[in-house]
Structure 1
Amino acid sequence: MGNTTQIDKQLKIYMLGRFALEYDGKTMIEDEGKIHKVWTLLGYLIANHNRKLGAQELPELLCSDDRSSDPVKAVKNLVYRLRCVLSDSGLPKENYIVQTGGIYSWNNDLSYVIDTEEFTEAYNKARVVSYDPEKSIEFYLRAISIYKGKFLPHAAYDEWAVNATTYYHRLFTDSIISLYELLDKKESYEPMLSVCKKALDIDAYDEDVYRIYIRCLTKLGKHKEALAAYEIITNRLYDELGVNPSKELRSLYRDIIKTLKSVETDLIAIKEDLNEGGRAECSYFCEYQIFKDIYRFIARRVNRTGESIFIMLCTLTDKEGEIPSIKYLAEAMEGLKFSIGRSLRKGDLFSRYSNSQFVVMLPDITYENGCMVGKRIENAYKKNKVSKVVVMHYKLQPLDPKSF
């Protein structure tokens, strides 16, 4: 980090969540996503401001996809253009880029601060003062407040930036986990809610953060919000990434349900809740953990009564029998869910089993009638446009109570 005198007039460089140079509280230069090698050069110089960049390194970075017969000259031209951009930006007239022969570097004699260094400094201080939980909490909160998003977001997938992107985001996630562990010991959960919301705005698929968020909501007695958060992350994982929720997340769901039910002590309220408020218009859809509990309960009863109960698995594939493309899967699963719900009886039960499957329980039915149900679901599903590229299959098996 450069000289830190005259704080008010410092150059502030932001690389987490945005790439911008500010001076005297005003944004002078900001990368708005334009694909431009001048921006790549500026970002690389600042990210490596403690190094001198040699004659081979910059040409390989900036000219690898060019057909230029003279990469060194091409780099000189880019440096000249970058100097023009800096000069025309309204920043103080300084020599921002130091050049010695074919060696280039950022001028470390300038007065400037970089958010990446402020971030890592706060994180490292939090680790150093771990013997003092209050100070550690303070530094973790500071680190989290500095982190506004992925490193150089418009260059996040450039080969040279990938390691830095991964590194800073890992520190950010570790800050959240460590902060939670400290606040959990104090049974102080409210501060974590805004922290988790910020983290999920940055990465909406981070299961670690969702688990912390759900635990905090539950500890604060916000059980319905916790359940809603669980449903959001599982839907995102299913529909947008095509993956199943982890065992840890599913286990957390069971804890939410147990807690949600245990706090209700009014019998009239419980009966109203169990009766679905008179809104039961189609079959019952539930989370898979609940489906398993009901399955096991009914299987024990079948041992005594000998009832005929069948389990159906409805699966979506492409024309080749493979898992469908994510491009079509979410729409296809939504269509299949609707088709199943409207094709079953009110007493039937179904659940999402995987990113491309639903499992159905059909009580008091024969195999032949079960096949008719499967055909009915299939015909209903075919009314969806996406059925032309995503095909539905079903299998039917009797419930086997022997293991219970």
Structure 2
Amino acid sequence: MYEKAVSWLGDYLKVQKDYPGMYRLYRQAAQVYPFDGWQTGQIESMIFMGNYKEAFRLYDQTARRYSEEMGLPPSDKMLECYRKMSQQFVSCPDGLDNIRAELCERNGTDGENAYYCSYPSFIDIYRLMARRSERSGQPMCLMLCTLVDYEGKIIQNQEKQKARSELLKKAIGHVLRRGDVYARYSAYQYLILLTGVSVESSHSIGNRISRYFKTLCGKRAEVNFSVSAYQTGQEIRF
């Protein structure tokens, strides 16, 4: 009942072009039910009002929250909002120093070398690096890390899965180089972009991640790895 009422009123406010009212409606709904996707309505209303910078911030916060707390990628609606923002976003005129300061990375997580980002950001980085790989011939690999139990099965206990997923994130960030990129793909999977690395040498990277992960979780903690080379399509699993 609540969902239908909010959706109907949101559509009505959208038709009436009452975008501030639309924003307030979805903000309140998101506060009550933070994992029901109401942030999409907030972001859409911000786009209509031209508040692209704030819309980007909310999108990034929401994508990270869904990924870190629920292990979910952004919904199709959220990705569509992201595409709209990317096409329409125009900042106010500013100086290069201020722009550079805004682009600079904020304080990272202690002990992490690699760059952690949301899945939509990972997509953009992957496509850019794929173009560079095509031009330079430098090898590039995509690695998928899947958290499993000692029998090689997906961990069913949600609390245990969440705790180990955070430790796997820490292990990946610790082992990888500062120029490497990784993102959470699901509740128990992470994607890693490895540049200048062949499929064969990626095996040693996976082993280092696994060893460090075991020091954090214990010897019965396991990770399965799948690696695919961008240019050749060669794939290995271990």
With the length of structure 2 as denominator, give the TM-score of the two structures.
0.79
**Cα pair 2:183 2:191 within 8 Å, conserved:** yes
Q: What letter corresponds to residue 165 of structure 2 in structure 1?
A: M
Counterpart residue number, 2:91:
263
CA RMSD of superposed structures (Å): 2.9
Q: CA separation of 1:356/1:175 partners in 2, compared to 1, >3 Å: closer, same or farther? A: same
Instruction: Quote the offset at 1:355 in angstroms.
Output: 2.2
Instruction: Quote the offset at 1:215 in angstroms.
Output: 1.9
Counterpart residue number, 1:324:
155
Aligned mates of 1:246, 1:388 — CA distance in 2 = 36
Aligned mates of 1:258, 1:343 — CA distance in 2 = 36
User: What pairs up with 1:376-391 in 2 under 5 angstroms?
Assistant: 376-385=208-217, 390-391=221-222
Q: What letter corresponds to residue 371 of structure 1 in structure 2?
A: H
Instruction: Quote the offset at 1:363 in angstroms.
Output: 1.0
Aligned mates of 1:395, 1:254 — CA distance in 2 = 29
Instruction: Quote the offset at 1:340 in angstroms.
Output: 0.9
User: What pairs up with 1:305-324 in 2 under 5 angstroms?
Assistant: 305-324=136-155
2:228 paired with 1:397: yes
Task: Give the aligned length.
Answer: 225
**Highest RCO, 1 vs 2 (Cα 8 Å, sep ≥ 6):** 2
Q: What letter corresponds to residue 362 of structure 1 in structure 2?
A: L
Q: What is the CA deviation profile of residues 217-264 of structure 1, one whole-angstrom value per residue up to 9, with x for unaligned ones?
A: 4444222234323433443431xxxx544322333344445666x325
Instruction: Quote the offset at 1:374 in angstroms.
Output: 1.2
Match of 1:300 among 114, 117, 131: 131
Q: Rg bigger for which structure?
A: 1
Instruction: Quote the offset at 1:176 in angstroms.
Output: 0.9
Aligned mates of 1:278, 1:332 — CA distance in 2 = 24
**Cα pair 1:254 1:289 within 8 Å, conserved:** no
Instruction: Quote the offset at 1:396 in angstroms.
Output: 2.3
Aligned mates of 1:310, 1:322 — CA distance in 2 = 25
Instruction: Quote the offset at 1:368 in angstroms.
Output: 4.5
Counterpart residue number, 2:104:
275
Counterpart residue number, 1:363:
195
Q: What letter corresponds to residue 15 of structure 2 in structure 1?
A: K
Aligned mates of 1:258, 1:388 — CA distance in 2 = 48
Q: What letter corresponds to residue 288 of structure 1 in structure 2?
A: Y
Match of 2:115 among 284, 290, 297: 284
Q: CA separation of 1:366/1:232 partners in 2, compared to 1, >3 Å: closer, same or farther? A: closer
2:73 paired with 1:248: no
Q: What is the CA deviation profile of residues 49-89 of structure 1, one whole-angstrom value per residue up to 9, with x for unaligned ones?
A: xxxxxxxxxxxxxxxxxxxxxxxxxxxxxxxxxxxxxxxxx
Name the SS of the counterpart of 1:336 in structure 2: helix
Identical aligned residues as a percent: 26
Q: What letter corresponds to residue 357 of structure 1 in structure 2?
A: Q
Aligned mates of 1:276, 1:311 — CA distance in 2 = 23
**Cα pair 2:63 2:118 within 8 Å, conserved:** no
Q: CA separation of 1:269/1:357 partners in 2, compared to 1, >3 Å: closer, same or farther? A: same
Structure 2 unaligned spans of 5+ = 234-238
Instruction: Quote the offset at 1:352 in angstroms.
Output: 1.5
Q: CA separation of 1:288/1:230 partners in 2, compared to 1, >3 Å: closer, same or farther? A: closer
Q: What is the CA deviation profile of residues 72-122 of structure 1, one whole-angstrom value per residue up to 9, with x for unaligned ones?
A: xxxxxxxxxxxxxxxxxxxxxxxxxxxxxxxxxxxxxxxxxxxxxxxxxxx
User: What pairs up with 1:125-274 in 2 under 5 angstroms?
Assistant: 171-207=1-37, 209-220=38-49, 221=51, 222-223=54-55, 224-238=57-71, 243-256=72-85, 262-263=90-91, 265-266=93-94, 267-274=96-103
Q: What letter corresponds to residue 346 of structure 1 in structure 2?
A: R
Q: After alignment, is 194-203 or 285-294 more displaced?
A: 194-203
Q: What letter corresponds to residue 263 of structure 1 in structure 2?
A: S
**Cα pair 1:244 1:355 within 8 Å, conserved:** no
Q: CA separation of 1:248/1:234 partners in 2, compared to 1, >3 Å: closer, same or farther? A: farther
Aligned mates of 1:253, 1:276 — CA distance in 2 = 21
**Cα pair 2:147 2:223 within 8 Å, conserved:** yes
Instruction: Quote the offset at 1:379 in angstroms.
Output: 1.5
With the length of structure 1 as denominator, give the TM-score of the two structures.
0.49
**Cα pair 1:214 1:229 within 8 Å, conserved:** no
Name the SS of the counterpart of 2:18 in structure 1: coil
**Cα pair 2:10 2:25 within 8 Å, conserved:** no
Aligned mates of 2:59, 2:127 — CA distance in 1 = 26
Q: After alignment, is 173-182 or 219-228 more displaced?
A: 219-228
Q: What letter corresponds to residue 174 of structure 2 in structure 1?
A: R
Instruction: Quote the offset at 1:305 in angstroms.
Output: 1.7
Counterpart residue number, 1:126:
none
Aligned mates of 1:257, 1:282 — CA distance in 2 = 28
